[in-house]
Structures are given as structure tokens and as C-alpha cells.
């Protein structure tokens, strides 16, 4: 082929350059335009402001103090707020320098915001994260050392700011509000400890490290005392067992943390494993669990407190399921009564949050018995629902059944709300 | 030298014009596939706000709640029986009436046998069957059994809408000029919309049974075209803040997307609190969803919703 003349050649080059550059330009413009559109998949701008407003935390030394319970819009959390004041929890998270960005960071962004105080315990000080440096090494054999030092640190620096002291791993997810519920009928002046109870090697059993465990203030004092008086020693690296044995020697009681239907609250595995997995009969778990294992949906309480082996994606997913996603208007099957101390406290403070607001009676409502092929309409009258009483639906019912449908009518004006759910 | 320079410039100019022309002609979106709703022509359906609901009288609320009952049209494949079983055991229980439609019969499978392999034909037959058997149900939700739905949130979305008006709701997508609802994230039809649809099914010109011969459009687009002829247009279902309620991905996937985008609050940037559908989850994951949606919650946080839905009888996973 004859050689192209120089100007023709330049023309072709120019053509290609022009096409390419305009393509890139258009792509950029399109991209920016689509970002400007109120993106229906995510509300980015306003959410940042909302987050900044809600997270009122202060950093003190290496601890994060959460000043209030994070709230969703439209939510009434009087009971949660009361429990926040009454059942103060210090969460300390076992982590290490190499896990800060891969694991601890997600704990910081999710469940730890619901603790009264949270401290990230590492072998090394990190003022930016922040983490406390315990002056130990890293690795499995250092776990008990870290635990001992961490608890000592917590009592020494934050003993007055909390009543209960939770230890969790950086791959544990904890629903702190549910932990408060478990602890609400107990006093921190008693030597108690709660968690997922295992039975071997210790008379009263001991609590699984990964699923998280909680010591009362008195239990913590005794733990520290045990080391001072050399009753407890640090020769084993099996952290949870060693702790359990020390506490047993110091007269701390291993408690039953199950809910009122005997369902476990602390879980050593992820939800999917407990809810759908079948544990093979030779699996160690069967021999370890103090209480009978239930497989299937009743494995786990609605008010679950913890799960373990939770990766970053599952951390946020659990936070979404617990604190965000819900079925509108759904009346939960499991509705335990308010803790006794709380009922009195709420009634005392005068603001009626249980039963009718300021009134002795509540207007009648119509409820649909949902789902499936059965649909009957029940007329439930709430006459006589007294302030401070339990869920009205279970008392003073007069039911009228009818074929057909009805929707639920109730609380178009918020006259009451279901207590303590 | 000069002639080469000017040729070069002419080349650039022509190249640029060429690219521009191409993009304008083919509504060519560089780097994007069928892009979501155009801002101006788009239809949205938003869930009612608390104020809107509180402004209604008690009798109005009773009426509304009587109307908002859902007939679930759930499409199953006998080759993946486990999804039929899971849908029946999980979210299907929350429908007022859940009916399964299968391409063929199979032992154990309790479903209406459509005796049909073509997707569009299956959809037509299923919807026609649903219409004929609606009873007094006025809202229809159609989804594949691989989708997970929270029916209570669907009821909340359409609570204040009259089913005697035509509604065709879901995750609205746009392909060229056609706006349609994505099948994978579930399709909601009001009674009036379904009535008009069943009517236009009889018209072979507008809504042919075997689809158009030359190029096969997906069934979700065929549906949109047929509905468009009857004056029913796709609308995007959103919560009060404008977040989409119908998702074609799983929760985990959407969370992962939010993490990848490095949004400040990963959970905020993910999904709505009152989401209606997710898709792409395994049967086990659907069981876990039941726990996450209907059971797991933080003690002491309440909502004063205007409607209450009681749990279905005879189940223990919700």
C-alpha cells in the first residue's frame, strides 16, 4: 500500500483523538449527572448529617464514652434509655495491631456504640484508634495475659463508670440492649458472671470466650483480688477456662443467661449455624454445652445477646437486622414482661410509657389475625388497661370472631405502646 | 507543517462530532447499562408518613386496613424444590393467600401446574389464575420463590392507596423509553391493574401470547408494554425518605456494596428500614432472614405503628 501522506495521517490521528476524548468527557459528565440525581438507592448526603448528630461520643484517654443510646427516627425508646442509665456496661474488645483496620474498626462502627463505655484492648497503644496497650505480646498463648491485664485496667480506670464489664472479641457481635435486659434483674454488688455456659473442667462450668462474657463489678473486684492474693495464677493459655476456674475459686457464681423460655442468648457461632445447621453428634459442642442444645429456630432467643466468628460484612448485616430492618406493625410473638425494677422506676418518674398515656382506659381496637389462609377478625377491647400494667392484649379481652377481613386499627393516635419489647 | 496541523484539527473536530452524534442517536450512555429512572418522567410511590396516617379518622383506618390484603403469586421451579419449601415455610406464611405456580407438576410439590415452559406465557397464566381466584383480595404480589418478601412492609407501602385504581409497583427500571418493574425484586399489582391486564391479554395485537416473533423481550418488559396499553405505568416503591424498597440483591450483597463505596455509615447507605424484598439468598439465608426481620431486636425500643399484624398461626420461625 502506498504510504499515507503526512496530513492524511494527522487527520486520522486527530479523528481518533477527538472521538476518544469526547467519549471520556461524556462518560465523566454522565457519571456526575447520575450521581447528582436523587439516587433512589441511597440517601447519602442527609445520612452523613444524621450520623454526625447521633453519635455523641467523647474520647477519654483510650475509652469511647457513648453519651446516649443511638435512636432511629420515629422510635420510642424510653425503656432502653432507662436501662442505659440503670445497667451501665463497659465493653472491652480484645484486639491487636494487625486487626484494627480489618476487624476492630467494624466493631467500632457498629455494636460498640451501644455500650456506655468501650475500650479496645491491644498489645500496643494506639492513640488514633484509640486502643490501650496492655504491654503483652500477641497470639493465642497471650490471651489469658491480655484478659487479666484488660480487666485490671478496666477496674482501675473505669471502675466508677460502669456496673458490668463485658469482654468480647473483635469478631463477636453483641446486642448491648439485650444484654442490659438479661442483667436488669440482677445487682452488680453480687459476684455474678454471665455468658454462654460450658460444662467441662469446672464444677459450675465456665463461659465461652468467643461468645463474650460479663462480670459484675463485685465479680471483677474478686478477680483482681484473686491475683493480688495469688489464689489465681496465670499459667494456662486457655483464657475462658482459666478465667472460669479463677472466678470459681473466688466465689463468683456462673449464671444462667437464657431467656424466660430457656433459649440461649449468648452464641458461640454465627446465626446461620445455630438456626439452620445441624451439629454432628461427634462435634465437641454437644459435650461442652451446659444446657441442652436446641437446633432450629428455638436455638436462639429473640433477645439474642451475642454471636461469634462474625466477619465485617456480617457485623453490618447484624446491625441492620437488629437496629434497622423491621416488619411494620408486626407484633412480636415473644414479649417478656418488663423487669420488675424498671416497672416501678417508670411508674415513679410519672411519665406513663406503659399502658395508657395519662388515661386509665384505651379505646377499643380491631386486630387482624394475620397471614395464611385463615383470617378472622377479633375485636379486642382494652378497657381498664391500667397505667404500669403489662401488655393490654393479654388482659380483659373480649373476642368476637368473624369471617372476612379487617385491618388493624390501633394507635392512630399513640395512646399506648406495647411495653418493654 | 501547517496543512498537517489543520488536518489534525479537522480530524479532532470530526471525531468529536461523530462521538456526540452516536451518543445522541443511540441514547448511548457511556459505561452505563439501562440506567435507572430518568428524573423527570419517573413515577414514585412513597410509603405514608406518620402524619398522613394520624390525620385519618378511625373509620378510615378500619376501611384501609380491611382493604390491604395480599394475594401472593409465587413462581416455582420443580428443579429447585427447596425454594418452594422455603418460601412456604418462611415469608409465604405472611401473605393472606399464597399460591405457588409451577411450570410443570412434580411429586410433593403443591402448586398450580401451568404446564408451560415459556416465561411470558407462565406469567400470563399465573396472573390470570390469580385474578380468577382473588376472592376479596385486592392486592397482588408476584415474585419468584428465590425472592424474599416482607409482606407487612408491602401492606404499609400501599396502605393509603386505593386498589380500585391501577397500580404497578416495584423497582422501576428504564430501557429506552419503556419503564418497567424488575421481576427479580417482585411486582405489585392492584386489583384494577390486574383487571385491565387480564382484559388486554385477550388482545393479540397489543399483547400477544407468544411474544413478538422477531426479537424476544423479557417477560417483565412484555408485562410493562401490555400494561402501558391499558394506561398503567410502572412506579418505583420508596420509603418516606426516597430509598428504594424493592431489592434484587441479598442483604449481604448490598451491605458489601455499601462497604465498597466507603460510605460513612455503612448500614445507612445500604437499605431501607422498611425494605420489602431481597433476592439471591440461599434457603438457609432465608431462614436467617426470618430471625432477623421477625424476631431479633434490641430490647426497649418501640414503634407506635398505626397498624398491628399478628404473627401467623402454627409457626416457630417468626
Residue B19 lies in a domain: no
Residues of B in contact with A405 (CB under 8 A): 66, 69, 96, 136
> What is the H or E stretch that residue B229 is in?
helix B219-229
Does the residue B270 lie in any domain?
Answer: yes
> Mean per-residue pLDDT for A210-239?
91
**Number of independent structural domains in chain A:** 1
Residue B13 has pLDDT above 80, yes or no: yes
pLDDT of residue B108: 84
* CA-based nearest distance A281→chain B, Å: 21
Which chain B residues are Cβ-neighbours of A406 within 8 angstroms?
A: 62, 65-66
Q: What is the pLDDT of residue B294?
A: 97
Q: Is the pLDDT of residue A133 over 70?
A: yes
CB contact (8 A) between residue A16 and residue B15: yes
Query: What is the pLDDT, as a whole number, of residue A55?
Result: 47
pLDDT band at A3 (very low <50, low <70, confident <90, very high): low
Chain A residues with CB under 8 Å of B266 CB are 109, 316
**Closest in A81, A109, A320 to B270, CB measured:** A320
Note the pLDDT of residue B153.
Answer: 97
> pLDDT tens for residues A362-378?
333 334 434 433 333 33
Cβ contacts of A369 on chain B, cutoff 8 Å: 310, 313
Which of A30, A321, A420 is closest, CB to CB, to B29?
Answer: A30
Residue B273 — left, alpha, or beta (φ > 0 → left; ψ -120 to 50 → alpha)?
A: alpha
Residue A311 CA to residue B292 CA, distance in Å, equals 17
Mean pLDDT over residues B89-94, rounded?
Answer: 96
The answer to whether A397 contacts chain B (CB < 8 Å) is no
Of A29-38, A181-190, B83-92, B170-179, minimum mean pLDDT range: A29-38
Mean pLDDT of chain A: 78
Provide the pLDDT confidence category of residue B215 given band limits of 50, 70 and 90: low
Q: Who wins on pLDDT, A343 or B292?
A: B292
Output the domain CATH number for residue B246: 3.90.550.50
Collect all residues of chain A within an 8 Å Cβ-Cβ radius of residue B267.
110, 316, 319-320, 323-324
Question: Considering the domain boundaries, does residue B39 fall inside one?
Answer: no
CB pair distance less than 8 Å for A175 and B298: yes
| Interface-testing mutation among A6, A8, A13, A14, with chain B (most B C-beta atoms within 10 A) | A14
Q: What is the mean pLDDT of residues B253-263?
A: 94
Q: Which three cell numbers stand for residue A373?
A: 389462609
pLDDT classification of A256: cutoffs 50, 70, 90:
very high
CB neighbours of residue B273 within 10 Å: 23
* Across B153-167, average pLDDT: 95
pLDDT at B42: 62
Best residue of B5, B15, B252 to probe chain A, by most A CBs closer than 10 Å: B15
Residue A326 is assigned to a structural domain of this protein: no
- Residues from chain B contacting residue A81 (CB–CB below 8 Å): 300
| Mean of pLDDT values over A108-130 | 95
How many domains in chain B? 1
Contact between A313 and B313 using a beta-carbon 8 Å cutoff: no
Q: What pLDDT sits at residue B95?
A: 96
Of residues B214 and A310, more confidently modeled: A310
pLDDT band at B213 (very low <50, low <70, confident <90, very high): low
Q: Is residue A59 part of a domain?
A: no
Q: Which residues of A touch B240 (CB under 8 A)?
A: none
The shortest C-alpha distance from B116 to chain A (Å) reads 27
Contacts of B11 in chain A (CB under 8 A): 10-18
Of A276, A375, A370, which Cα lies nearest the Cα of B150? A370
Does residue B130 or residue A5 have the better pLDDT? B130
Q: Say whether pLDDT at A31 is over 80.
A: no
- Work out the percent of chain B whose per-residue pLDDT is above 90: 66
With CB atoms and an 8 Å threshold, state whether A19 touches B18: yes
Q: DSSP letter for B55, please.
A: T
By C-alpha distance, the chain B residue nearest A299 is: B317
Q: Which residues of chain B neighbour A307 with C-beta distances below 8 Å?
A: none
Residue B274 has φ and ψ, to the nearest 5°, of -115, 35
> Would you say residue A272 lies in a domain?
yes
Establish if A31 touches chain B: CB-CB under 8 angstroms.
yes
Calculate mean pLDDT across residues A273-302.
Answer: 90
Domain range for B125: 44-295
> Which residues of chain A neighbour B281 with C-beta distances below 8 Å?
none
Cβ neighbours of B12 in A, within 8 Å: 14-15, 17-18, 21
Rounded-to-integer distance, Cα B267 and Cα A320, Å: 6
Looking at every residue in chain B, the average pLDDT score rounds to 89
Chain A 73-132, residues with CB within 8 Å of chain B CB atoms: 74-83, 109-110, 114
The reply to whether residue A297 touches residue B152, judged by beta carbons under 8 angstroms, is no
Any long-range contacts for B4-9 (C-beta under 8 Å, 24+ apart)? B4/A6, B4/A7, B4/A9, B4/A10, B5/A10, B6/A7, B7/A7, B7/A8, B7/A10, B7/A11, B7/A14, B8/A10, B8/A11, B8/A13, B8/A14, B9/A14
Q: What is the CATH number of the domain that holds A162?
A: 3.90.550
DSSP conformation letters of B73-95: EEEE-GGGHHHHHHHHHTGGGGS
pLDDT digits (tens, 9 = 90+) for A340-369: 877 777 777 644 333 323 222 233 333 443
Instruction: Answer yes or no: is B151 within a domain.
Output: yes
A171 or A392, higher pLDDT: A171
pTM for this predicted structure: 0.80
Look at residue A86 and give its three-state secondary structure: helix
Q: For position A51, what pLDDT does the model report?
A: 40
The mean-pLDDT minimum among A55-59, A150-154, A416-420 falls in A416-420
Asked if B15 and A81 come within 8 Å (Cβ–Cβ), the reply is no
- pLDDT for A87 beyond 90: yes
CB contact under 8 A, A408 and B65: yes
How far is B199 from chain A, CA to nearest CA, in Å? Answer: 27
Q: Is A292 on the interface with B (CB under 8 A)?
A: no
pLDDT of residue A2: 52
Name the strand (E) or helix (H) holding A213.
strand A213-216
Q: Where are the beta strands (DSSP E) in A322-387?
A: 355-356, 365-368, 377-380
Give the whole-angstrom CA distance, residue A386 versus residue A33: 57
Task: Flag whether A230 is in a domain.
Answer: yes
Burial class (CB in 10 A: 0-12, 13-18, 19+), A167: buried
Q: What number is the average pLDDT over the span B115-136?
A: 94
Show which of residues 160-189 on chain A sit within 8 Å of chain B, judged by CB atoms. Answer: 175-178, 180-181
> Has residue B51 been placed in a domain?
yes
pLDDT at A81: 93
CB nearest to A38's CB, from B8, B242, B292? B242
Q: Report if residue A129 sits inside a domain.
A: yes
Residue A403 touches chain B, beta carbons under 8 Å: no
pLDDT value at residue A382 = 32
Q: How far is CA A405 from CA A175, A189, A191, in A?
A: 37, 53, 54
Query: CB contact, 8 Å: A355 with chain B?
Result: no
Chain B residue nearest residue A175, CA to CA: B298
Position A414 confidence tier, pLDDT thresholds 50, 70, 90: very low
**Which chain A residues contact residue B10 at CB under 8 A?**
11, 14
Would you state the torsion angle of the CA atoms of residues B216, B221, B224, B226, taken in this order, to the nearest 10 degrees? Answer: 10
Segment B198-206 mean pLDDT? 92
What are B65-76's pLDDT values in tens digits?
A: 878 999 999 999
pLDDT in tens, A189-198: 999 999 999 9
* pLDDT tier, B28 (very low <50, low <70, confident <90, very high otherwise): very low
CA distance B96 to chain A (A): 5
In the prediction, which pLDDT does B259 show?
A: 96
Q: Which domain holds residue A180?
A: 77-321
Top-confidence residue, A136 or A377: A136
CB B191 within 8 A of CB B134: yes
Residue B55 placed within a domain: yes
B30, A114: Cβ pair inside 8 Å?
Answer: no
d(CA B201, CA B204): 7
B13–A18 C-beta distance less than 8 A: yes
* Domain annotation covers residue B29: no
Contacts of A27 in chain B (CB under 8 A): 30-31
Q: Which of B14, B255, B284 sits opposite A272 (nearest CB)?
A: B284
Percent of all residues in chain B with a pLDDT value above 70, rounded to a whole number = 93
The reply to whether B33 falls in a domain is: no
Amino acid at each position: 500500500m502506498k504510504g499515507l501522506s503526512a496530513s492524511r495521517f494527522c487527520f486520522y490521528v486527530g479523528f481518533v483523538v477527538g472521538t476518544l476524548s469526547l467519549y471520556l468527557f461524556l462518560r465523566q459528565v454522565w457519571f456526575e449527572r447520575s450521581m447528582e440525581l436523587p439516587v433512589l438507592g441511597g440517601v447519602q448526603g442527609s445520612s452523613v448529617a444524621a450520623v454526625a448528630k447521633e453519635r455523641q461520643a467523647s474520647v477519654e484517654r483510650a475509652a469511647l464514652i457513648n453519651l446516649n443510646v443511638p435512636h432511629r427516627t420515629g422510635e420510642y425508646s424510653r425503656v432502653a434509655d432507662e436501662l442505659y442509665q440503670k445497667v451501665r456496661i463497659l465493653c472491652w474488645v480484645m484486639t491487636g495491631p494487625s486487626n484494627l483496620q480489618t476487624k476492630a474498626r467494624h466493631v467500632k462502627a457498629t455494636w460498640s456504640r451501644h455500650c456506655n463505655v468501650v475500650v479496645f484492648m491491644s498489645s500496643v497503644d494506639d492513640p488514633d484508634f484509640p486502643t490501650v496497650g496492655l504491654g503483652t505480646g500477641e497470639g493465642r498463648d497471650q490471651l489469658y495475659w491480655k484478659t487479666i491485664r484488660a480487666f485490671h485496667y478496666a477496674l482501675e480506670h473505669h471502675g466508677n463508670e460502669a456496673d458490668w464489664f463485658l469482654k468480647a472479641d473483635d469478631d463477636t457481635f453483641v446486642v448491648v440492649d439485650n444484654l442490659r435486659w438479661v442483667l436488669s434483674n440482677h445487682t452488680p454488688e453480687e459476684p455474678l458472671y454471665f455468658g454462654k455456659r460450658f460444662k467441662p473442667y469446672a464444677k459450675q462450668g465456665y463461659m465461652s470466650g468467643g461468645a463474650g462474657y460479663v462480670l459484675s463489678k463485685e465479680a471483677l473486684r474478686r478477680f483482681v483480688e484473686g491475683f493480688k492474693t495469688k489464689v489465681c495464677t496465670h499459667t494456662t493459655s486457655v483464657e475462658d477456662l482459666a478465667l472460669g476456674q479463677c472466678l470459681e475459686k473466688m466465689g463468683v457464681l456462673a449464671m444462667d443467661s437464657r431467656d424466660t423460655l430457656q433459649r440461649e442468648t449468648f452464641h458461640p457461632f454465627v446465626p446461620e449455624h445455630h438456626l439452620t445447621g445441624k451439629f454432628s453428634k461427634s462435634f465437641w459442642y454437644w459435650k461442652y454445652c451446659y444446657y441442652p442444645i436446641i437446633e432450629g429456630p428455638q436455638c436462639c432467643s429473640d433477645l439474642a445477646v451475642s454471636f461469634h466468628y462474625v466477619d465485617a460484612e456480617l457485623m453490618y448485616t447484624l446491625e441492620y437486622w437488629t437496629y434497622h430492618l423491621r416488619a411494620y406493625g408486626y407484633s412480636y410473638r415473644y414479649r417478656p414482661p418488663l423487669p420488675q425494677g424498671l416497672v416501678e422506676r417508670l411508674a415513679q418518674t410519672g411519665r406513663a410509657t406503659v399502658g395508657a398515656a395519662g388515661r386509665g382506659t384505651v379505646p377499643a381496637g380491631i386486630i387482624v389475625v394475620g397471614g395464611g389462609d385463615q383470617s378472622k377478625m377479633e375485636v379486642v377491647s382494652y378497657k381498664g388497661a391500667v397505667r404500669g400494667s403489662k401488655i393490654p392484649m393479654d388482659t380483659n379481652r373480649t373476642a368476637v370472631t368473624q369471617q372476612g377481613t379487617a385491618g388493624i386499627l390501633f394507635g392512630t393516635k399513640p395512646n399506648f405502646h406495647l411495653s418493654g419489647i | 507543517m501547517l496543512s498537517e496541523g489543520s488536518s489534525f484539527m479537522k480530524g479532532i473536530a470530526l471525531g468529536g462530532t461523530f462521538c456526540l452524534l452516536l451518543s445522541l442517536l443511540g441514547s448511548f450512555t457511556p459505561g452505563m447499562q439501562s440506567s435507572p429512572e430518568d428524573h423527570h418522567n419517573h413515577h414514585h410511590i412513597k410509603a405514608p408518613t406518620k402524619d398522613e396516617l394520624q390525620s385519618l379518622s378511625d373509620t378510615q383506618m378500619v376501611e384501609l386496613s380491611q382493604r390491604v390484603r395480599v394475594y401472593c403469586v409465587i413462581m416455582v421451579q420443580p428443579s429447585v424444590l427447596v425454594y418452594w419449601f422455603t418460601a412456604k415455610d418462611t415469608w409465604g406464611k405472611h401473605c393472606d393467600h399464597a399460591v405457588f405456580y409451577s411450570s410443570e407438576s412434580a411429586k410433593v410439590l403443591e402448586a398450580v401446574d401451568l404446564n408451560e415452559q415459556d416465561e411470558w406465557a407462565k406469567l400470563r397464566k399465573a396472573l390470570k389464575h390469580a385474578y380468577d381466584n382473588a376472592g376479596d383480595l385486592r392486592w397482588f404480589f408476584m415474585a419468584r420463590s428465590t425472592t424474599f418478601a416482607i409482606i407487612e412492609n408491602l401492606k404499609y407501602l400501599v396502605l393509603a392507596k386505593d386498589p380500585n385504581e391501577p397500580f404497578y409497583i416495584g423497582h422501576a427500571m428504564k430501557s429506552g423509553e419503556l419503564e418497567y418493574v424488575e421481576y427479580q425484586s417482585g411486582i405489585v399489582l392492584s386489583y384494577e391493574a390486574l383487571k385491565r391486564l387480564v382484559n388486554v391479554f385477550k388482545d393479540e395485537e397489543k399483547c400477544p401470547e407468544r411474544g413478538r416473533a422477531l426479537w424476544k423481550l423479557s417477560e417483565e418488559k412484555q408485562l410493562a408494554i401490555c400494561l402501558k396499553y391499558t394506561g398503567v405505568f410502572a412506579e418505583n416503591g420508596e420509603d418516606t425518605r426516597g430509598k428504594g424498597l424493592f431489592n434484587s440483591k441479598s442483604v449481604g450483597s448490598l451491605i458489601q456494596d455499601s462497604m465498597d463505596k466507603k460510605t460513612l455509615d455503612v448500614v445507612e447507605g445500604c437499605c431501607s428500614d422498611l425494605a420489602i424484598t431481597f433476592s439471591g439468598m440461599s434457603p438457609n439465608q432465608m431462614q436467617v432472614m426470618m430471625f432477623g426481620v421477625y424476631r431479633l431486636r434490641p430490647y426497649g425500643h418501640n414503634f407506635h405503628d398505626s397498624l398491628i399484624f399478628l404473627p401467623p398461626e402454627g409457626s416457630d420461625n417468626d
